[in-house]
Amino acid sequence: MTNGFDSSSVNCKIQGRREMAGLRRLAQLKPIAEEALAGTVFVAKFLCGLHVANTYICTAALTYGPSMLPTLNLTGDFIVAERLSTRFGRVGVGDIVLVRSPENPRKVMAKRLMGMEGDSVTYVVDPKNGDWSETVVVPKGHVWIEGDNIYDSNDSRNFGAVPYGLLQGKIFWRIWPPERFGPLEKRKSNEGVL
């Protein structure tokens, strides 16, 4: 009986010592945990800042495909687009814009604005087979977009005017390829490559 009592008190002591050791180890871990927490918070803040800058100020994008030849390359141009002018409605005819495709909402494409709401736009219906052209009036709240390469471009000539809300940004600077580094300027609407 006494034996058992003794052993249990010894057990208690050992347990207590173990707990003390554990606490001490925890105390050692505390600065590391604090550092990790601070690091996580910093990374989270940084990502939030990145998101805000990317959504509201400017974004980078890689464009490829034949539809904007010769302005944008076939194999891939790295461009910067700013979000402010589309948000405040300060884009005009001739600007190159990023548009969310009306046919596939997960795709974003680069096209040139050819008409704002209320403008009448004349376009060649089928440039490969003759120059029969048609004139339409862009409805309220919509814009008319076309690729520079009218022979190989899926744009408003196929799906009609698109709502302004689909515009994602105005492309204003090219970064890659380096030999064509520089601003992308406006073009008059009727200077088309015909």
Partner 1 sequence: MANRDIVWNVVKKCFTFGIIGVTVSDRYASIVPIRGASMSPTFNPRATSLAGPVTGDYVLVEKFCLQKYKFSPGDVIVYRSPCNYKEKHVKRIIALPGDWVGTRQTYDVVKVPEGHCWVEGDNAECSMDSRSFGPIPMGLIQGRVSHIVWPPQRIGAVEKKYPQGRIKSN
Hey, which residues are catalytic here? 67, 111
Q: Does 101 bind partner 1 (CB under 8 A)?
A: yes
Q: Does 25 bind partner 1 (CB under 8 A)?
A: no
Q: Report the residue number, 48 or 175, with the smaller CB distance to partner 1.
A: 48
The residue ranges of DSSP E strands in 38-141, in sequence order, are: 58-63, 77-82, 96-100, 108-115, 120-124, 133-137
Pairing state of beta strands 182-183 and 162-163? unpaired
Contacts with partner 1: how many residues (CB under 8 A)?
Answer: 28
Q: Name the CA dihedral angle for 123, 121, 141, 172, rounded to a multiple of 10 degrees.
A: 80
Closest Cα partner for 101 from 59, 160, 31, 60?
Answer: 160
Among 142, 157, 170, 174, the residue binding partner 1 under the rule CB under 8 A is 142
Among 18, 24, 140, 180, the residue binding partner 1 under the rule CB under 8 A is 140
Q: Mask of contacts with partner 1, 146-175, x by CB under 8 A? A: -------------x--xxxxxx--------
In contact, 108 and 61? CB cutoff 8 Å = yes
Q: Is 4 left (phi over 0), alpha (psi -120 to 50) or beta?
A: alpha
Q: Does 45 bind partner 1 (CB under 8 A)?
A: yes
Residue 26 CB, shortest distance to partner 1, in Å, is: 30
**DSSP 8-state symbol, 178:** G
Chain contacts with partner 1 (rule: CB under 8 A):
44-45, 47-49, 51-52, 55-56, 89, 100-106, 139-142, 159, 162-167
